[in-house]
Chain A
């Protein structure tokens, strides 16, 4: 039995999940995006340093995967802000940065258009909003 694949799988699944949720939540509330970007980048580099330093292949694999994923998440803060600008992710009116985006970009919305079950048919923008707000 070799547990390195299981360790790599758990590290991959959990770090994707963590990044997916954390980037959205932090970008939603953070007044700046540079601060979380720097924090995630430092965390990622630190984990890569751990990964290089250990002789244990299982730990090296887990740290290596989690570290690179955190480095990618650092870039995702900017990509998430771009989704907000396009209205592809909901904006937070309480966040001064998002309030500014709402004034500057007409597509910005507080509605999460993806929060529903599929209908298996194309819908117009108006219908897409109705499907979220009128249920």
Chain B
């Protein structure tokens, strides 16, 4: 088994303590950081994502794998930055103003990072203007919004409207999700997409950015 295959396997097993030294080993062997990322860490997470989609494994397994992947990313990130290698896309996420629930939003962030996206997590209780300013400042391609209360869902509409008002429509795409949110609601407020769960949110963001 090559070291990249071993990295992927360790990610799949959720074995963070094995991922870090293997990543160091790959770096020491002169394998380009981007290749270690794509053929090692992300390859492992892709297998995890596929197994999750067909219900072969469950979300806690995915989260263990994500943590293992982060152990490798800690080693790789400085090198990727040094080489000026961009992530596959930057996503600003947050739970909307009035909402303090952030477990769903956290899961989306973890899954997006696992798929190779750069994630800017604004936390919870995020005002519409903060999403827009963060997307502009960070050069993000996507804004992801989460709401767990029907009463905070209208904030999503405000964000979509502010994205348009800021002249960012088409440049910054909006994705909504959360237990009470529906695809019909996403359409009604003019959001670009709706993610029904954290795994689906990754597919949706990939689709929006032509990364499928």
The answer to whether A and B belong to the same complex is no
